[in-house]
Amino acid sequence: MPIITKISAQKTNTERFNLFIDEKYAFSVDADVLARFQLSKGKELSALDLTEIEYQDDIRKGVNSAIQFLSFRMRSEKEVRDYLKKSELDEAIIQEVIHKLFKRNYLNDLEFAKAYVRTQMNTAKKGPVILKQELQAKGINVHEIELALEEYSNELQVENAMALAVKTIKQNRKLAEKMVQQKMEQVLVRKGFMHHTINIVLEEAAYEKGEDEQWEAIMEQGRKAHRRFQKFEGFEYAQKMKQALYRKGFPIELIERFIEENAQVDDREVD
């Protein structure tokens, strides 16, 4: 049978040891595997011994790699599995690694899901719909997702959605009231808030422009439309302007006022 003729610690990693069998380098093992199999110079190894040693060492390497991966932040079981698969480990080894990680409390999908919800609701202000989708993508089961989302109170959902609505209003002051309302709703849907939360926020954040603000907004959008349609004249020009500004959410009476006053300006420029 093959005999261990030399064991030496690696220079770059003193926790791993190189094994030489019959005077030739065979493979390296972790310190725990070395101790577990009582490997020493002169020990004879059967083919079965070699297979079991390599198998257990692969598990140790997988566990160590996974712990390093987990050291940066909490991960779901699926994230760790996907990471280990990139190392081309056999599925049986990955399964054993995952089992050991759960046993040592390195993995806990429910705690991971709760922490993820808390982080995202406080920093990114995401709604529960998006959080549910993201947790599903990370392999968390439906029951644990529902438990994790209990961390996100209805009051905080409304508060976060309101903050996003106010930000949207500030960013779109040059648009018509109707368009601002639409943009608020679009932002909240995209962020993953429920319809009942969105309705509460839209009602509480009802945005009404003053007369001067409305006129300033239509002047901004009207100038842009005018540059596109100034090659047209008369009825055709007026219709294209009305259509463009109506799509922007302005009321028809304000549109007609803008077109009339804009026409008067053009007339004075001609005179």
In angstroms, the CA 16 to CA 19 distance is: 10
Mean pLDDT, rounded, for 71-81: 95
- Residue pair 75/139 in contact by the 8 Å Cβ criterion: no
Q: What is the reported pLDDT for 63?
A: 94
Which tokens hold the place of 34?
């070395």
Q: Give the Cβ contact number of residue 220 at 10 Å.
A: 13
% of the chain surpassing 70 pLDDT: 94
Q: Is the pTM of this model over 0.85?
A: no
Q: What is the reported pLDDT for 270?
A: 38
Q: Identify the band that residue 212 occupies on the pLDDT scale cut at 50, 70 and 90.
A: low
Q: What is the reported pLDDT for 263?
A: 63
With vertex at residue 92, the alpha carbon angle to CA 86 and CA 95, rounded to the nearest 5 degrees, is 75
H or E element that contains 128 = helix 128-137
Rounded to the nearest integer, the mean pLDDT of the chain is 88
**Which own/partner pairs from 229-236 qualify as long-range (CB within 8 Å, at least 24 positions apart)?**
none
The residues near 72 (Cβ < 8 Å, ≥ 6 apart) are: none
Q: Identify the band that residue 268 occupies on the pLDDT scale cut at 50, 70 and 90.
A: very low
Q: Identify the band that residue 271 occupies on the pLDDT scale cut at 50, 70 and 90.
A: very low
Beta bridge mates, 25: 20
Give first-to-last CA distance, the chain, whole Å.
Answer: 111
Question: Which residue from 219, 228, 207, 205 is spatially nearest to 174, judged by alpha carbons?
Answer: 219
H or E element that contains 166 = helix 154-171
